[in-house]
Amino acid sequence: MNNGGILVAGAGGFIGGWMVRSLLSQGAKNVIAVDIKDKCDWYQVFDDVDNRVLDLKQSNNCKKVMQGVDIVYNLAADMGGMGFIENNKALCMLSVLINTNLLNEAKENMVEKYFFASSACVYNQSMQSNPRNLGLKEQDAYPADPEDGYGWEKLFSERMCNHFYEDFGIQVRIGRFHNVYGPHGTFEGGREKAPAAICRKVAEAKLSGNHEIEIWGDGEQTRSFTYIDDTIEGTGLLMNSHYPGPLNIGSSEEVSVNELVDLVEDIAGLKLQRKYLLNAPKGVRGRNSDNSLIKEILDWEPGIALREGLSRTYDWIFRELSIR
C-alpha cells in the first residue's frame, strides 16, 4: 500500500465511504477523506483517517487537501437517482468544478494516479431505446448524446482527464459505474436509486401492512445493477492496471424494474399490489454493461449476483427502518 497521502473526494457518500473502508482494510495509513456534507451526515465515518468537511468546488480547498497526496479517488458529485438528476441538471453540471480543480492540483503536485468516477449516463441515448439492451461498449459514448446535465458533466470530465493524461502525463483511470447499490447508502429522500428505493418500499409495506407499491414507469425498462463490493474491487483493479481509457465497471445481469420488484418481494416474503406512475422520471428504456473490454484488460468482471446483493441491501434497509 502506498505510503503517501490518499485522497478520497466524496468520502461521505455511499461509494466514498466503502472506498475508505476498503483502503483501511488494505493497510492504508494516510487517508484524507473529504466531503461537503456535515460529518454527521456521512454514511460511514472512520476515526483513523483525516476527515475534512470542505467544498471541493472551491479551488483553494483543493489546494489544501492535495498537499502530500500521491493517489486521488475522485468520487465526489452532486447526484442521485433518475428523479434527482432529471430535475437538477445545473447542480449536476457544477460537479465539473471539482474534477477541474482536483486535476489542476494533481498536475501541480505530480500525483502518481488519479481515479475519476464516471457513469453509464455518458452513453448515447439513441442506443438505449430498447428494453433488451445487449450491452453498451465503451466506444458507444460517441457520437455524444448523454443524459442531459449529469451525463454531459461526466463525459466532459472524462475528456478533461484524458487531456491531462495526454498533455501533462497524469496517470488517470476512468471507471464508468453502472447503477451501484448496497448497504450504507441513500434509500429515501429523493436521491436514492432504483434498488434502494424498491427495497425501502417493500420494507415499508411489510412493516406497515399496506401491501401496495408505486413503480415509476411501466416497469419494463431495464438496467444492470452493480453491488458495491464489485464496484470497489473493480476500481482497485483498474487503479493497479496501466489502462488510462474509460472502462465499464458494471454488472451485465440485465433485469427489468418489474423483475427487480419480483426479486425483492421474494426476499421479503410478500406480494404487493403494483401502482404504475407512467409520468414519473424513467430515464432511458434499456441500459446494460458490455464487459468485453474489462475482461480483456483486467481478466475480471463483477460477479455478485443481483439476488445476493439485493438480499444484503434489503436486510440493511429493513433494519434501519425497524429501529425508528
Write out the catalytic residue numbers.
150
Task: Give me the residues paired with residue 177 across strands.
Answer: 119, 249
- What ranges make up the beta strands (E) of 15-145? 31-35, 50-53, 69-74, 113-119
Tell me the Cα Rg of the chain. Answer: 19
User: Which residues neighbour 207 within 8 Å (Cβ) at sequence distance 6 or greater?
Assistant: 318, 321, 322
Q: Parallel, antiparallel, or unpaired: how do β-strands 254-256 and 222-224 relate?
A: antiparallel
Output the DSSP codes for 184-250: SS--SSS---HHHHHHHHHHHHHHH---EEEEETTS--EEE-EEHHHHHHHHHHHHTSS--SEEEE-
How is residue 259 written as a grid cell? Answer: 423483475
